[in-house]
Amino acid sequence: MLSDNNIKMDDIRVKMLERPELDNPVLIEGLPGVGLVGKLAGDHLLDELDGKKFAEIYSIYLPPQVNIQKDNTVELVNMGLYYWKNKKNDMILLLGGFQGLTPESQYRISDKTLDIAEELGVGRIFTLGGLGTGSITKNPKVYGAATSKVLVDELSEHGVVFRGSGAIFGASGLLLGLGMDRDMDAVCLMGETHGQIIDAKSAEVVLNVLTSMLDGGADGEGQQDDRRAEEGHGQAVLHGSAHLHKIVHSYLSASTGLSCAACLAGRTPDMHPTMKEKASAPMISSGVMLALIMV
C-alpha cells in the first residue's frame, strides 16, 4: 500500500498529497542523466501539460541537502510524481533533480516507484534519457530498448534505432528491469547526445517519438494554445525548441563546466536569454553532475 503522510518506510518515505483516480495510466520517468536529456524532456512535459503533483518521495539515499526556493524558504530534496488526466491514457511523470547516490539506493527507489505505479494501475512505462557518443550532431537519433520483442517492433515503427548491445544505468534502466518481474511493459528512449553537454535538441527528438507513440503524432513546433485546444483529445503537443533551449539555460552557470549543445552546434543562434538571465540561473549541484554519468 502507498504510505500515508509522514510515515517512514525502509528509509524511503512517500508523502501522498492526493490519491488520484487514473484511467489506464502510463508512467514517464524524466530524471537527470546523460546530457540531462531525460530531465529536460520530463520538465518540458510538466510545463506543457500543467501536471498536478500528487506525491513526493523522500529518502536518505538522495543528496543530504535542501534547496532554496524563490521565496527564500527551503525544500528538502525529493522526487515528485505528477499526473495529467487525458481521454486516451492518463499520464504520471516521475521528476526530480537527483537520482539515488548508490547502487543499492537506485534499486530501492526504483522498486518503491514501481510499487506506486502498480497500485495506480500503470500498464506501460517510458523512461527517457541520453546516449552519449562523444560528438555533437545537428540531427540526433533516438535509440531504444524494451522489455519485449513486440515493443521493439513498435519502437521501430516510430523511427527508433537500436544498437544491439550496451547497458542502461540508473532509474532509466532499473524501471525496465524491475518492471519485467511485475509483468509491466516498458521502453527506454535515449536521445543521441555528446554526453558532457546539456542537450535540448536531443530532448526534443525524444519527445517527438514519445508523443508519437502515445498519440500517433505531435507537432514539434506547436504552440501552447494549440495544445490546450487539443487537450481533451490526447494531444501532448510540444511547445517547440525555443522553450527547451530556455530550460537548458536555466540550469547553466559559469561554474558548471557544462555547455549547451544547441549553442555549440549553431542550431539556435537567436534563442539565447539575456546575460542578466544567465547570471541569475541556478547552479547545478555536484549531485546532478554525478547523475550525468547515468542515462
- Residue 277 φ then ψ, to 5°: -65, -40
**Rounded distance between C-alpha atoms, residue 47 and residue 64, angstroms:** 27
- Whether the pLDDT of residue 39 is over 70: the answer is yes
**In order of start, what are the domains of the chain with their CATH numbers?**
12-291 (3.40.50.10900)
Tens of pLDDT, residue by residue over 68-120, are 999 999 999 999 999 999 888 899 999 999 999 999 999 999 999 999 999 99
Query: H helices of 123-264, where?
Result: 149-157, 171-180, 200-215, 224-230, 241-251, 261-264
HSE of 183 in the Cβ direction (CA atoms, 13 Å)?
A: 1
Note whether 191 and 131 are within 8 A (CB).
Answer: yes
pLDDT tens, 169-185? 999 999 999 999 999 99
- Through-space distance between the first and last CA atoms of the chain, rounded to whole angstroms: 29
- Is this model's pTM higher than 0.95 or not? no
Neighbours of 214 (CB within 10 A): 20
Burial readout 163-179 (b: 16 or more C-beta within 10 A, e: otherwise): eeeeebbbbbbbbbebb
Q: Are 171 and 106 in contact (CB under 8 A)?
A: yes
